[in-house]
Amino acid sequence: MKKSIDLINERVRDGNARVVTADEMPGIVAELGDEEALREVDVVTTGTFGAMCSSGAFFNFGHAEPPIRMERIWLNDVEAYGGLAAVDTYIGATQQSTTREDQYGGAHVIEDFVAGKSVELRAMSRGTDCYPRRTITTDLLLEHLNQAIMCNPRNAYQRYNAAINTTDRVLHTYMGMLLPNSGNITFSGAGVLNPLSNDPKLRMIGSGVPIFLGGAQGMVVGEGTQNSPAGGFGTLMVTGNMKEMSQDYVRAATMRGYGVTLYIGVGIPIPVVDIDVVRSTAVRDEDISVDLLDYGVPSRNRPAVRKVNYAELRSGVVEVNGEEIRTSSLSSYRKAKDVAETLKGWVEQGKMTLVLPTRQINPETRVKSMHESVHGPRVLDIMDKRVVSIGESEEIRAAAQKLLKGETNHLPVINSNGLLVGIVTTYDISKAVANPGKATLVRDIMRKKVVTTTPDEPVDIAVQKLERHNISAMPVVDKDMHVVAMLTAIDLGKLIGGRWLK
């Protein structure tokens, strides 16, 4: 059996359509079976409400007298894009204020406009014959703008990997605050309610499909940036009229240590045209799995601690290596439900009819990593290969002599097998000399917890280590802990002027 979109829309217009929210669907299908559910249900509404950093809006301000072609533009001190003609601009949600840093940004400008607040526009231009004006400052309300078109390049992620932190310090990430030593888990996404999780093959969701966006009736433009539905991480580009939006569904936020982002509500109605739609909308939280990634590893390829599904994440605790770890959601499940319910109301009341995609999104698309033609500097490009080290059973005096002769402040300490076991600095030696005690050998005064780097580690990561531990040098080791070089603050000077490229 199949149901045509025209039949569904006829029911919607007559106010007879049976509309359910996506979290109700698994129960309905379990009770009625696929065939009966197809006969019974006409539309499934979905919803999600979370941080969607890749969002923003186009504005047209209308022409001033005399007219200006704006080249640099600020809205409440948040810079907006000046590469469009005359009085058009695009403001990105994560752009931060030049005066208030991460406490205010593009997302706040968008929320303030939607909330009916006044926003100050400042702009500059070099002035031309046709656009003579050079500066402008004016307070604007949303109603003063000709257009305020939200257009978000990457929204409504199908799912998102959960985060944990195995290091011994607090991390502030776009996945929120991650406590040390696997102290908590954070996750994002509406699971059972998520639009793309209810249509993973992208049969009903594509260009032209009407949606709920920030409280307004918007539309899917097409695939979102970084779209990767083949791997279960589809995204959508969406648009909607900001003038019809509500602050209830458009909220600016600041992730401490990361920056500004925009929380926005997105919902998509899915017409139940065939058995495949019934089955895909019967998806449950338990069926949607993500990797739990260790954000303590500063790499694109973060290791997965385990797989975890949305039912576990939402339960409040997830077991990792026999330990129960508490979870925090960064997106709002209550608001996601609110979006799906509101959308359900719209369809029930005939305010929104259904449309099949005018252009399909390819479900086989997979995201690629950046093609890097020039690699950033690695430790081996700048490290100092002249290593002066000392044996752990040598006398402190010998260490002092080596430090003097080697013109260094850091001596890696090695054991009889030539492996790194500690480090001594001029400070350690001075201390030992100034307070003579029982210590006579290097091993008595060395620091055993040594911060190290490796030749192929990116310099940016190595510098983070130096800064974090407040040290000026560290041994460069191979995988067996042989010291192959030293990296000191002085070596970092080689980065200036691209000298590391040789």
Active site residues: 130
Residue 307 and residue 301: Cα distance in Å, rounded?
A: 15
Contact residue for another protein among 335, 378, 402, 494 (CB under 8 A): 335
Between the two ends of the chain, the Cα-to-Cα distance in Å is 69
Please tell me whether residue 21 binds another protein under the rule CB under 8 A. no
Least distance between another protein and beta carbon 478 (Å) = 38
Please tell me whether residue 305 binds another protein under the rule CB under 8 A. no
Please give the structure tokens belonging to residue 32.
């009625």
Q: Closest CB to another protein among 152 and 327?
A: 327
Please tell me whether residue 334 binds another protein under the rule CB under 8 A. yes
Please tell me whether residue 284 binds another protein under the rule CB under 8 A. no
Least distance between another protein and beta carbon 175 (Å) = 10
Residues with Cβ < 8 Å from 126, sequence gap 6 or more? 71, 134
Please tell me whether residue 51 binds another protein under the rule CB under 8 A. yes
Contact string 244-283 vs another protein (x = CB under 8 A) = -------x-xxxx----x-x--------------------
Please tell me whether residue 330 binds another protein under the rule CB under 8 A. yes
Please tell me whether residue 320 binds another protein under the rule CB under 8 A. no
Q: Which residues pair with 447 in a beta bridge?
A: 423
Please tell me whether residue 179 binds another protein under the rule CB under 8 A. yes
Are 273 and 3 within 8 A, CB to CB?
A: yes
Cα 226 vs. chain centroid, distance in angstroms? 12
Please tell me whether residue 452 binds another protein under the rule CB under 8 A. no
Q: Where are the beta strands (DSSP E) in 28-173?
A: 43-45, 48-51, 56-60, 72-75, 78-80, 88-92, 96-97, 101-105, 119-124, 135-140, 147-155, 162-164, 171-173
Contact residue for another protein among 176, 200, 234, 296 (CB under 8 A): 176
Are 354 and 343 within 8 A, CB to CB?
A: no
Q: Closest CB to another protein among 43 and 51?
A: 51
Please tell me whether residue 50 binds another protein under the rule CB under 8 A. yes
Q: Closest CB to another protein among 81 and 258?
A: 258
Please give the structure tokens belonging to residue 303.
């290791």
Please tell me whether residue 49 binds another protein under the rule CB under 8 A. yes
- How many residues form the binding site for another protein (CB under 8 A)? 30
Q: Closest CB to another protein among 162 and 220?
A: 162
Q: Which stretch binds another protein (CB under 8 A): 33-41, 230-238, 327-335, 348-356?
A: 327-335
Please tell me whether residue 327 binds another protein under the rule CB under 8 A. yes
Are 429 and 451 within 8 A, CB to CB?
A: no
Cα 136 vs. chain centroid, distance in angstroms? 35
Residue 87 and residue 69: Cα distance in Å, rounded?
A: 6
In 64-132, where does DSSP find H-type helix?
Answer: 106-114
**What residue ranges bind another protein (CB under 8 A)?**
49-51, 172, 176-177, 179, 184-186, 251, 253-256, 261, 263, 316, 325-335, 337
